[in-house]
Structure formats: C-alpha cells, structure tokens
C-alpha cells in the first residue's frame, strides 16, 4: 500500500497573500485604521475588512468609528460620504479612479440648473452622488431607506429625485408619490435583460428572484423581493427558499455563500454573457492597493470645509429620519 503524505502543499501565491495580509494588519494597528468594504468588493478584500455592509450601514460605521484612519474599499462617493460624516478622520481610498456611473453622470453644475428649473421642489438625492450634489440636496437616501424617507415627506410637497431613475421609479411605485427624475442609471444593473431572466426562471422554477432596486422596472416586476444589498442578504436567511437568482453585482454572493452555504445562489449574468455584471469601479480596489494606501496614507479624500458642512446637513437629516 502506498503511504500518503500528510504534508499540505502550500503555493508561493498563497504565501504571498498571507504575507500581504500580515503586512496590512501591522499597518492597520500602527495607524489605528479601520477597513470598511462594500459587498461588491472582491472576496479577498471583503475578507480582510473590519466591516462589510451596504451604503447605509457603511455610513453609520464611518460616523461612529473610533479609528483615526478609514480605508474605504468601495467607490469614490462612498469614501467622500465617510469624510462628510467623519471630517476629523483621515479617509483613504485604495484607488481614486473608483467612480460610479450614477455619480459621474450627474455633474454639480447641471444638477444646479435642474434644481433651478424646479424651484418649489424638495430635493432628495440617492447617496450615489458627489459631495457637490449632496450639498445642493435637502435630503439624502440610500436604497435601504428611500421608501421610508419619502413616506415621511409632506404629501403636498413636489419632489425631485436624483440621480437614479430606476430606483426613483421603484420608490414612486412603493410610496404612491409622484417624483420628478434626474435621468441617471447604473451601468451594472442596466446590463441585466428580461430575456435572460426569463430563461433562468424557466431553468430554476423553484428559485426565488431577489433584486436590487437599481434594476429596471420590467426586471423588478419579475422579482419576488426587492431591496438594498443588505436586505437581499437578510432575505436569503429569512426566506424558506433554497435557491436564489440574484439580480445585483455578484460580489454579494461571496457573503451569501459564507453566511448560508447550504443554499444555492445563481448570479444574474450581463448581456450576452459579458462580465458587465461586475462593477468595473468597485473591482479596482485590491489587497495590494490597500497595503500601498496604508503605507503612504494616500490617496486621501480631501473636501473643503464649506462643501463638507453643506453636504453634511442632508446626510445628517437622513441618519436622523432613518431607522
Ligand atoms: P447598497 O446601498 O444597496 O449597498 O447599494 C450601493 C450600490 O452602489 C448599488 O449599486
Ligand atoms: Fe455605481 Fe452601479 Fe457600481 Fe453601484 S454598481 S457603484 S451604482 S456603477
């Protein structure tokens, strides 16, 4: 009988990753830093984070942390939001080019002109926008609390909703409120097609379809549950279904599989099987860049004091109005 060696093969690559983890840990302690990550980050970035959450949870963490340095593994508007809520902290982002189509397609000067055309309207902006757009808004919302917040506004007040029209239309259907939209959308959620979803539903008739509200209306109508990334994760735990078709960026599947591995999660592919269901901005952050930004304490989010103070007001109002 051949003897089986008990020695486990360790690849040079895994040793390299281990070293990188250790080096990040040393710097994290040295600088009293916290690593915050969104669910759309690469699995290895999520795994090294101190906290992984949706936009609302990440905002709360950024506001309440005792750390001196926040390394924000998400996109630029999220890191900016952390700075707005914790201006005394140093906020770093591993890759300064991590943008967002919603934020980038809503320039502050055009938004100002849009608001000026509707002077009697109350301005509600989705958190996926720049600090300069936040500063012009009366109230900020996330996909997690948008309906809850709109429901609290006086019934006779006309409302502008920016920059995500798909989220806005969903909020309008849920709340019964007529909203005037800025015409923006997310490049990832727009890559999902009804035809592909119908084929998946036919293939997996027992699967529950769960969707992010940034998806288009026809896809949301074919879904069983709609919610923010955290709400989708909670739904997989609370539902009796054993299989889910997940209509959002597939980074969230990492958490779903970790937290409830007995269930099955099917990622929604982009059009023609392209990889456009992955957010090209979120995925710019890597372990190497986290290490580099902790070493050099850059790139850093810098916002001038006047803008910070103006952008803080609608953010603070959101946190006060939100459960
Ligand atoms: P959540 O607030 O649901 O995490 O969404 C953020 C986002 O950018 C979705 O594309
Ligand atoms: Fe922006 Fe869409 Fe990426 Fe979310 S998934 S950060 S909305 S581009």
What is the distance of C-alpha 20 from the center of its chain? Answer: 25
Q: Which domains does the chain have, with CATH numbers?
A: 12-98+283-301 (3.40.50.10800), 102-187+308-321 (3.40.50.10800), 189-278 (3.40.50.10800)
My answer on whether omega of the bond before 163 falls inside 30° of 0, hence cis, is: yes
Query: Using CA of residue 147, residue 61, residue 96, residue 23, what is the dihedral sign?
Result: negative
Which mutation among 142, 163, 166 tests ligand 1's pocket best, with the greatest number of atoms within 8 A of CB? 142
38 CA closest ligand 2 atom index: 6
pLDDT at 18: 86
Task: Tell me, in angstroms, the distance from the centre of ligand 2 to residue 248's CA.
Answer: 10
Task: Write down the residue that tokens 């109350």 correspond to.
Answer: 122
Task: Tell me, in angstroms, the distance from the centre of ligand 2 to residue 5's CA.
Answer: 48
Which mutation among 144, 163, 170, 249 tests ligand 2's pocket best, with the greatest number of atoms within 8 A of CB? 249
Mapped onto helix, strand or coil, the DSSP state of residue 239 is coil
Pairing of strands 208-211, 243-247: parallel
Task: Tell me, in angstroms, the distance from the centre of ligand 2 to residue 301's CA.
Answer: 19
Q: Which ligand is nearest to the CA of 276?
A: 2
pLDDT at 149: 98
Instruction: Please tell me the residue having the least CA distance from ligand 1 atom 3.
Output: 228
Which mutation among 143, 163, 185 tests ligand 1's pocket best, with the greatest number of atoms within 8 A of CB? 143
**What does the alpha-carbon distance between residue 85 and residue 211 come to, in Å, rounded to a whole number?**
29
- Which burial class, exposed, middle or buried, applies to 119 when counting CB atoms under 10 A from its CB (0-12, 13-18, 19+)? exposed
Asked whether the beta carbons of 139 and 167 are under 8 A apart, the reply is no
Kindly state if the Cβ of 55 falls inside 6 Å of ligand 1. Answer: yes
Kindly state if the Cβ of 143 falls inside 6 Å of ligand 1. Answer: yes
The number of C-alpha atoms within 13 Å of 107 and in the hemisphere containing its C-beta is 3
Task: Output the DSSP codes for 108-128.
Answer: HHHHHHHHHTSTTSEEEEESS
The encoded tokens of residue 109 equal: 């000067």
Kindly state if the Cβ of 54 falls inside 6 Å of ligand 1. Answer: yes
Asked whether the beta carbons of 221 and 173 are under 8 A apart, the reply is no
pLDDT at 140: 98
Task: Tell me, in angstroms, the distance from the centre of ligand 1 to residue 281's CA.
Answer: 13
pLDDT by residue, tens only, the chain of 323 residues: 334 444 556 787 887 888 999 999 999 999 999 999 999 999 999 999 999 999 999 999 999 999 999 999 999 999 999 999 999 999 999 999 999 999 999 999 999 999 999 999 999 999 999 999 999 999 999 999 999 999 999 999 999 999 999 999 999 999 999 999 999 999 999 999 999 999 999 999 999 999 999 999 999 999 999 999 999 999 999 999 999 999 999 999 999 999 999 999 999 998 776 778 999 999 999 999 999 999 999 999 999 999 999 999 999 999 999 98
Helix orientation angle between 287-296 and 12-30, rounded to the nearest 10 degrees: 30
Task: Tell me, in angstroms, the distance from the centre of ligand 2 to residue 185's CA.
Answer: 9
Using a 6 Å CB cutoff, which residues line ligand 2? 75, 100-102, 128, 186-188, 214, 249, 279, 281-282
Task: Write down the residue that tokens 């304490």 correspond to.
Answer: 297
Instruction: Please tell me the residue having the least CA distance from ligand 2 atom 2.
Output: 186
Interval 271-287: pLDDT, tens: 776 778 999 999 999 99
Q: Which ligand is nearest to the CA of 232?
A: 1
User: pTM here?
Assistant: 0.94
Kindly state if the Cβ of 214 falls inside 6 Å of ligand 1. Answer: yes
103 CA closest ligand 2 atom index: 1
pLDDT at 8: 59
Task: Tell me, in angstroms, the distance from the centre of ligand 1 to residue 90's CA.
Answer: 23
Which residue from 141, 139, 166 is spatially nearest to 226, judged by alpha carbons?
166
Interval 225-240: pLDDT, tens: 999 999 999 999 999 9
Kindly state if the Cβ of 128 falls inside 6 Å of ligand 1. Answer: yes
**What does the alpha-carbon distance between residue 311 and residue 306 come to, in Å, rounded to a whole number?**
9
140 pairs with which residues across the strands? 125
Sheet holding 264-267, edge to edge: 225-226, 208-211, 243-247, 264-267
């Amino acid at each position: 009988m051949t003897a089986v060696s008990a020695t486990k093969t360790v690849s040079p690559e895994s040793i390299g990753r281990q070293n990188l983890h250790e080096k990040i840990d040393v710097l994290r302690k040295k600088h009293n830093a916290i690593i915050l990550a969104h669910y759309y980050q690469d699995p290895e970035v999520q795994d090294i984070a101190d906290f992984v959450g949706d936009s609302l949870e990440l905002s709360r963490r950024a506001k309440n942390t005792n750390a001196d340095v926040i390394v924000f593994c998400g996109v630029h508007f999220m890191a900016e939001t952390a700075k707005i809520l914790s201006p005394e902290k140093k906020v770093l982002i591993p890759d300064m080019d991590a943008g967002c189509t919603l934020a980038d397609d809503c320039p502050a000067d055009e938004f100002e002109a849009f608001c000026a055309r509707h002077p009697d309207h109350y301005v509600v902006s989705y958190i996926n926008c720049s600090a300069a757009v936040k500063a012009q808004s009366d109230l900020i919302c996330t996909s997690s609390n948008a309906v809850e917040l709109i429901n609290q506004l006086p019934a006779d007040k006309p409302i502008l909703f920016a920059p995500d029209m798909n989220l806005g239309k969903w909020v309008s259907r849920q709340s019964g409120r007529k909203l005037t939209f800025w015409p923006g959308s997310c490049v990832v959620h727009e890559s999902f097609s009804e035809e592909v979803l119908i084929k998946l539903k036919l293939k997996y008739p027992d699967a529950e379809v769960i969707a992010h509200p940034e998806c288009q209306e026809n896809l949301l109508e074919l879904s069983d549950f709609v919610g923010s990334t955290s709400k989708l994760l909670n739904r997989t735990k609370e539902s009796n279904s054993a299989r889910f078709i997940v209509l959002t960026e597939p980074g969230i599947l990492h958490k779903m599989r970790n937290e409830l591995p007995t269930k099955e999660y099917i990622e929604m592919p982009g059009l023609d099987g392209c990889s456009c269901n992955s957010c090209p901005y979120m995925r710019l952050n890597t372990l190497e860049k986290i290490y580099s930004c902790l070493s050099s304490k850059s790139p850093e989010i810098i916002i001038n004091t006047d803008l910070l103070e103006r952008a803080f007001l609608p953010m603070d109002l959101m946190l006060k109005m939100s459960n």
